[in-house]
Structure formats: C-alpha cells, structure tokens
C-alpha cells in the first residue's frame, strides 16, 4: 500500500504541483536529509522539496532527466524515479503494451528502490502498470482518476 501511495503521490507531484492539502511545499527539510541528497546528487538543478505525511520528496533535474527521490523522515532513501521514453523500456514491457492495447498511456518511468532494485512503471488513464527489471508485469494499480 505504501508503494501505491508513493506512486500516486509522485504522479500528483509531477503533474499538478502538490494539489493535495496534506503536502507542504518547500518545507524545512532536516539538514541531514539535504546533505545526503547533495552528496548523492551534486549536479542537481531546480531542486524543490515537499513533505507528505511521513516522507520528504525532492524533484530535481540532473543531466537531461527530471527526477524525483523520496526519503523517509530519518533521511533514509526510499526510491528514486525518472521519466523515460517508451523506447527505453525493456522489450518485454514494450511487447506487453502492444499486445494488450493499454489505452491512454501517458508516462513511462524507471524506478530504483533503495536496495538497487529497478522497476518500470507506465501510467494510463485509468491504471498504472508496474514491471520488474526484466519487463514482466507484476502489479496493476487502479487510478483514482476515472
């Protein structure tokens, strides 16, 4: 459930600029979290922090990517996520999209969890699909928007 919440929060973060009332824009972020982020991402630009419930989210630009990273309240990394192009998805994921006619695909993401696990997510109008690093579907999430 936590992953579902984080995913939906990322979508809101990316597209609506924190429309949720339980999200605080540009909060006072503990210096330990800021230092950890700065060490891991020294070339980050356009850094914007937000706090939502028990996480700190940071959006930023690095190289040619827009990224989002989530930290817990103690500064522990939860996951990092960045938007990619369809051609950057694993072949099995691309095949799934073609074979299953997933209507209304809007965005593609690569997600790296704190333990280094890579996943891929695609969002459509009514569902989000989560694939493992090999491109095999392992979870479908119904969208709150219908």
State percent of the chain over pLDDT 70.
Answer: 78
Centre a 10 Å sphere on the Cβ of residue 24 and count the other Cβ atoms it contains: 14
Is a pLDDT exceeding 80 seen at residue 19?
no
Instruction: Look at residue 17 and tell me whether its pLDDT is greater than 70.
Output: no
122, 105 in Cβ contact below 8 A?
A: yes
What value does the mean pLDDT take over residues 114-143? 91
Residue 54 has a pLDDT of: 86
Distance of CA 28 to the CA centre of its chain: 22
**Percent of residues, the chain, with pLDDT higher than 90:** 42
pLDDT value at residue 121 = 94
The angle formed by the CA atoms of residues 65, 58 and 20, to the nearest 5 degrees, is: 115
What pLDDT digit, counting tens, does each position of 55-96 carry? 999 999 998 888 999 999 888 999 999 999 989 999 999 998
Domains of the chain (ranges, CATH numbers): 2-142 (3.10.450.360)
Q: Residue 129 above 50 pLDDT? A: yes
Sign of CA dihedral 102, 87, 120, 99: positive
Q: Tell me which residue of 142, 135, 127 sits closest to 110, measured CA to CA.
A: 135
Q: What is the model's pLDDT at position 21?
A: 36
Alpha helices in 1-125 (DSSP H): 2-16, 31-40, 91-100
- pLDDT grade, residue 138 (50/70/90)? very high
Measured distance CA(104)–CA(32) in Å, rounded? 40
């Amino acid at each position: 459930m936590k992953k579902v919440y984080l995913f939906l929060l990322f979508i809101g973060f990316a597209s609506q600029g924190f429309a949720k009332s339980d999200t605080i824009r540009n909060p006072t972020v503990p210096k330990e979290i800021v230092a950890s982020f700065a060490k891991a991402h020294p070339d980050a630009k356009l850094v914007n922090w937000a706090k939502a419930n028990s996480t700190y989210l940071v959006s930023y630009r690095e190289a040619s990517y827009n990224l989002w990273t989530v930290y817990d309240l103690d500064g522990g990394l939860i996951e990092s996520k960045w938007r990619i192009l369809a051609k950057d998805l694993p072949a099995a994921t691309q095949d799934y999209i073609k074979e299953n006619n997933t209507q209304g695909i809007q965005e593609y993401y690569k997600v790296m969890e704190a333990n280094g696990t890579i996943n891929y997510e695609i969002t459509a109008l009514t569902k989000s699909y989560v694939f493992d690093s090999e491109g095999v579907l392992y979870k479908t999430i119904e969208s709150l928007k219908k």
